[in-house]
Amino acid sequence: MLTLVTAAGLGVDAYVHWQLAPGFDTLTGAASPHISQGQLFRLEAALAVIAMLLVLLTRNRLGALVAFLMAAGGLGAVLLYGYIDVGGFGPLPDMYDPVWYTEKTISAVAEAVAAVGALCLLLMPSVASDGDD
């Protein structure tokens, strides 16, 4: 069940970022090469899909670790840029966005659910050790 919850959270995260990406293509960094926030959203979506597939297909600690890092990293980024104006640096754009619109909130909740699910998967005793008692 935790695997499915984690995968669902990552899937929602990927979907929301992919849908939002075109609207953020104009926000680019100052230095060359100019990286847009839309490109970063597409990268987030692709990495979330990879993490989702890993957690579903491998069902091991490595997949859970990748899923946790992906979801927690995404949640950390949305919270950081939602509350602190870090500014742009190098090719990365200034992604400060203090407004919590529906899609952003859905993504943050999905990332939190996925991170907690993946953390629980990481902390669960392995199936192999259950038979050793």
Q: What is the pLDDT of residues 68-92, one digit of tens each?
A: 999 999 999 999 999 999 988 889 8
- Tell if the pTM clears 0.85, that is, is over it: yes
Q: pLDDT tens digits, residue range 5-60?
A: 999 999 999 999 999 999 999 989 888 888 999 999 999 999 999 999 999 999 88
b/e sequence 72-84, b meaning 16+ C-beta within 10 Å: bebbebbeebbee
CA distance 21 to 23: 5
pLDDT at 34: 86
pLDDT at 75: 97
pLDDT at 125: 80
Give me the torsion for CA of 34, 36, 53, 68, rounded to 10°: 100
pLDDT at 133: 40
pLDDT at 59: 84
pLDDT at 31: 82
Q: Higher confidence at residue 100 or residue 88? A: 100
The answer to whether 59 and 53 have CB atoms below 8 angstroms apart is: no
pLDDT at 128: 42
| Local confidence band at 124 (pLDDT 50, 70, 90 cut-offs) | confident
